Amino acid sequence: MTKKIKIAVLGAGHLGQYHVQKYSKHPDIELIGVVDTDKNRAKEIAERNNTKAFFDHSEILKNVDAVSIAVPTEKHFEVACDVISAGVHLLIEKPITYDLIQAHKLVDMAKQSNLIMQIGLIERFNPAIMELQKHLKSPIIIEANRRHLFTPRGTDVDVVLDLMIHDIDIILQMNHDTTISDINAVGLSAITDKTDMASARLTFSNGVVANLTASRISGENIRGLRVFQSEEYLYADYQKRAFFRTPYKASVEAEGDPNKVLSHVASFPESDPLKDEIHAFINSIITDAPVKVTGEDGIKTLDVALKIISKIHKKRLS
């Protein structure tokens, strides 16, 4: 490339600051600035990354080719509409919106304007998941467990849209050739007025069952996904970016213990999923390569998340 892509980050919060950091180091990017209505925060993140601070996204859209949208979810639709109307490519953090009608409208608008829209479902770029998918054959049971220490970040939405949505996306990708035939879910509010802990079971038409648990009121941070197949189980540790493949009948005879199960392990400690996510976004803009996580993916994931939330609410009212 002879001309760098001009990019800004809209939102300087917890996620936005990391987008700014990655863009500032990307060789094909000219980071124009970071936008936030909190002027002190915008200035802080801008100074930290040698860029400019802006306080209204309308100030910057005419000067950029693309943006990352990392504002609170309640602002996604409004801001994304402005971005698309300005003819600017967008990487929009999950969830795409709160509302399916709005999500469909954004995707349609981006298509009509021939713009790249990528959804920030970062676990797609986790090498542990990518390695697990290479060994995926005939899953029978899938278990996803995501537990976090409490933090005020993300409490503008309930835990399904904040945390569980990542696992919903991965499980839908694993079962892309089938449909969900049944959803059951329970949840509770403990600290916020929204659901802070949720458990859901998705049953697919091909018989696969997926159990998902997400909590933001845990005493520890755990993020993992396990797949049970006919001859082995697979485990992806999102947090440590490690993959384990365990054949049921394998043993470690060399160690003199025929009852000890052997796991084949692959780890990727130097990987950077956010860097890879941003690289994929930039690559789609530069080369017109297929978008890794499309707006349609964001809609499908949001649809299942909202159905889980609806099930939880109905049980609370019954």
DSSP summary character for residue 259: T
pLDDT at 254: 43
| Residue 163: pLDDT over 60 | yes
pLDDT at 256: 55
Could you give the CA distance from residue 102 to residue 224 in angstroms, rounded to a whole number? 31
Tens of pLDDT, residue by residue over 97-106, are: 999 999 999 9
pTM equals 0.93
Section 259-265 average pLDDT: 74
Range of the domain at 241: 124-273+303-317
Note whether 219 and 96 are same-domain residues. no
Note whether 100 and 142 are same-domain residues. no
In the three-class reduction of DSSP (H, G, I as helix; E, B as strand; rest coil), residue 242 is classed as strand
pLDDT at 153: 74
pLDDT at 156: 78
190 lies in some domain: yes
| Residue 268: pLDDT over 70 | yes
Could you give the CA distance from residue 143 to residue 242 in angstroms, rounded to a whole number? 16
Note whether 43 and 177 are same-domain residues. no
281 lies in some domain: no
Peptide bond into 269 cis (omega under 30): no
In the three-class reduction of DSSP (H, G, I as helix; E, B as strand; rest coil), residue 211 is classed as strand
Note whether 76 and 150 are same-domain residues. no
Q: Which of 115, 137, 163 is the last residue of a domain?
A: 115
286 lies in some domain: no
Domain count, the chain: 2
65 lies in some domain: yes
Q: Which of 59, 87, 115 is the last residue of a domain?
A: 115
Q: Are 295 and 103 in contact (CB under 8 A)?
A: yes
Note whether 186 and 205 are same-domain residues. yes
The CATH number of whichever domain residue 247 belongs to comes to 3.30.360.10
Tens of pLDDT, residue by residue over 164-204, are: 999 999 999 999 999 999 999 999 998 888 899 999 999 99
Note whether 33 and 91 are same-domain residues. yes
Q: 35: how many CB neighbours lie within 10 A of its CB? A: 29
Q: Are 18 and 274 in contact (CB under 8 A)?
A: yes
Note whether 155 and 229 are same-domain residues. yes
159 lies in some domain: yes
Tens of pLDDT, residue by residue over 204-256, are: 999 999 999 999 998 889 999 999 999 899 999 999 999 999 988 764 444 55
Q: Which of 94, 115, 136 is the last residue of a domain?
A: 115
Note whether 162 and 308 are same-domain residues. yes
pLDDT at 249: 74
Instruction: Select from 29, 33, 31 the least CA-distant residue to 53.
Output: 33
C-alpha dist (Å) from residue 297 to 90, 121, 195, 232, 235: 15, 9, 24, 29, 23
170 lies in some domain: yes
Tens of pLDDT, residue by residue over 298-307, are: 999 999 999 9
Q: Are 20 and 47 in contact (CB under 8 A)?
A: no
Note whether 134 and 206 are same-domain residues. yes
The CATH number of whichever domain residue 93 belongs to comes to 3.40.50.720
178 lies in some domain: yes
Residue with tokens 């300087």: 12
Note whether 132 and 226 are same-domain residues. yes
E strands, 18-72, in order = 29-35, 52-54, 66-69
Note whether 93 and 235 are same-domain residues. no
205 lies in some domain: yes
Note whether 178 and 85 are same-domain residues. no
Section 53-77 average pLDDT: 97
Residue with tokens 């998902």: 212
Section 279-299 average pLDDT: 97
Tens of pLDDT, residue by residue over 1-59, are: 468 999 999 999 999 999 999 999 999 999 999 999 999 999 999 999 999 999 999 99
Section 278-282 average pLDDT: 97
